[in-house]
Structure 1
Amino acid sequence: MQDQNNDFTYQNVIQLDDADASSRKFIANVFLWMFAALGISAGFAYYFANDVTLIQYLVDFNTGSTTLLGKIAIFSPLAFVLLMSFGLNRLSYPVLTVLFIAYAALTGISLSFILLAYTASSVTGVFITTAVLFGVMAVAGYTTHQDLTKFGSILIMLLIGLVVASVVNMFLGSEKLDYILSYVGVAIFVGLTAYDVQKLKRIGAGLEYGDASAKKMAVMGALTLYLDFINLFLYLLRLFGRRK
C-alpha cells in the first residue's frame, strides 16, 4: 500500500515537471517570435524614416498628405491581424508565419511616420522605458500564482471602451481627453501584458511541444505580446515623446 502511494506521487511530480518544461519551451518560442517581429518592425521603420526615396512613397511632400501606399501601410496591419485570428484553424503554419512577418514589416513602415514626428532621443528613451515596463509585467504575469482571468476580462472591457472613446475624440479633437486616454491606455496594456503572459503560460502547459498546433499558437501568442508592446510604446510616446 505504501509503495503504491509513492508511485502515485512520483508520477504526479513527473507530470508537473513535464508541464513546466513544456510551458517554458512554449513561452521561449513565443518571445523569440515576438523579438523577431519587433526587430523587423524597427528595421523597416528606421530605413523608411531615414531614406528620402522610400518615405516619398508614403508621403507627398508637395501637399503634405499621405499617399495611397502610405494609407495601405497604416491600415493594412489590422487586416493581417483579423486574417490570422479568424483564419488560424484554416491557415497552415508556413502561411501563418509569412503573414506574421509581413504584418511586422507593414507595421514597421507605418511606424516610420512616428520617427518623422518625434525626436530620435525621445523615441529611444520611450522604447527603453517600454521594454523595461513590459519585461517587469511579463515576469510578474509568469511568476504570479494569482489567477488573472477576471482581471483580464475587466481590462478587455476597458480596452473596448478606450477604442470607442478614441474614435469619438477623433471628431471632438480634445487634447485633454486625448491626454487622459493615453494614461488609461498605458494602464490597460501594462495589465494586459501580465494577463496575456499568464494565459500563454497555461496554453504552453497544455500543449505538446513540437506539435504543429503548438507552433501556430506560439506565433499567435507572439502576435498578442507584440500588440501589447507596440500599443504600450505608442501611448507612452504620446505622453512623454518630444515632437520635432
Structure 2
Amino acid sequence: MENQNPDYTYKNVIQIEDADQSRKFIAGVFSWMFVALGISSIAAYLFASTPSLLQLLVDPATGQATILFWVAMFSPFAFVLIMSFGINRISYLGLSLLYIAYSAATGISLSFILLIYTASSVSGVFLTSSVVFGIMAVAGYTTKTDLTKFGSLMMMLLVGIIVATIVNFFLHSSGLSMLISYIGVAVFVGLTAYDVQKLKRIGAGLEYGDASAKKMALMGGLTLYLDFVNLFLFLLRIFGRRR
C-alpha cells in the first residue's frame, strides 16, 4: 500500500473566496495528478518490459533484490515527507523536481505488478479505478454536504488498515489480507470525495497566481495521486489475475 500523505500546513495565502479561482486551482491539482500518473506509468512499463532495466532491480544471477530495488521501494515515502514538511521552505521549482522524482520512483516500485498480474487484468482494474475515482471526485466537488467528519472517519480507518497490514505481515493470513483490501477500497473511495471537497475549499481562498497557491496545487495533485494509486492497488489485490 502506498503511503497516504498527512495534512499540509499552508501559510501566507491570499483570501479572495473566488469560485473561478477555485476552478483554476482544481484544474492545476488534477494536472499535477495526471503528470504523476503519466510518469509512474511510463517508468513502471519501462522497467517491467526492458530486461536490462529489470536487472537493475533484481540480480539475474542470484534472484536477489538490488540496492536500487530497496531505494525505489522506500524513497517515495521519504519524498512525501520532504515535500510535506518542506513546502514552505522549498522553492516551487525544487518542489516540482521532487514531485517528478517521486513519481518516477513510485513507478519503478510498481513495475513488479506488471510481472505478477496479467496485462489484461491490470488494464481492467486501472479502468475500473479511473471510473470509480472520477465518480467520487465529481461527487466530492459538487456535494453540498460537509464531509469533514466523514474524512476524519476515513483517516481513522486508514490508520487501522496500516496497523492490520503490519500485523498480517507476520500472520500471513489470506483472509485478513482480503478483508484489508475490501476496507481499503472503501476508505480510498471515501477519501477521494473528501480530499476533492477539501481542495475545492482551499482553492476558493487562494489567488492562483501566487507561488504558494502553485505549491498547494502540486501538493493537492500528490494527495489525489495517492488516493488513486491506493484505490488501484487494493482493487488489483481483489480482482487482479496472477500470471
Smaller-chain TM-score range?
A: over 0.9
Aligned to 1:147: 146
Alpha-carbon deviations, 1:21-44, whole Å to 9, x = none?
A: 010000000001100110000000
TM superposition shift of 1:180: 0.3
Q: AA paired with 1:169?
A: N
Counterpart of 1:189 in structure 2 is 188
What CA distance in whole angstroms lies between the structure 2 residues aligned with 1:112 and 1:192? Answer: 25
Q: Offset at 1:19? A: 1.1
**Cα-to-partner distance string for 1:148-194 (whole Å, 9 max, x where unaligned):** 00000011011011101100100000000000000000000000000
Equivalence for 1:160: 159
Instruction: Report what 2:22 is aligned to.
Output: 23
Unaligned runs of 5+ in 1: 1-14
For the residue of structure 2 that corresponds to 1:91, the secondary structure is coil
Write out per-residue CA displacement over residues 127-151 of structure 1, whole angstroms, 9 at most, x where no aligned residue.
0000000000000000000000000
Corresponding position of 1:95: 94
1:105-144 correspondence to structure 2 within 5 Å: 105-144=104-143
Structure 2 unpaired stretches of 5+: 1-14
Letter in 2 for 1:215: K
Distance of 1:49 and 1:166 partners within structure 2: 26
Give 2:85's aligned residue.
Answer: 86
Q: Quick one: distance in 2 between partners of 1:115 and 1:63?
A: 21
Per-residue deviation, residues 79-117 of structure 1 (Å, max 9, x unmatched): 000110111111110000000000000000011011111
Bigger radius of gyration among the two? 1
Distance 1:54 1:212 in 2: 37
Deviation at 1:235, TM superposition (A): 0.3
1:204 Cα deviation (Å)?
Answer: 0.2
Partner amino acid, structure 1, of 2:126? F
Q: TM-score, normalised by structure 2?
A: 0.92
Give the Å deviation of 1:65: 2.3
For 2:76 and 2:61, the matched residues in 1 are separated by: 27
- TM-score, with normalisation over the residues of structure 1? 0.92
Verify: 1:54 aligned to 2:41, yes or no.
Answer: no
Report the Cα distance in structure 2 between the residues aligned to 1:19 and 1:59, rounded to whole angstroms.
Answer: 51
One-letter amino acid of the counterpart of residue 178, structure 2: Y
Residue matched to 1:171: 170
Ranked by relative contact order (alpha carbons within 8 Å, sequence separation 6 or more), the top structure is: 2
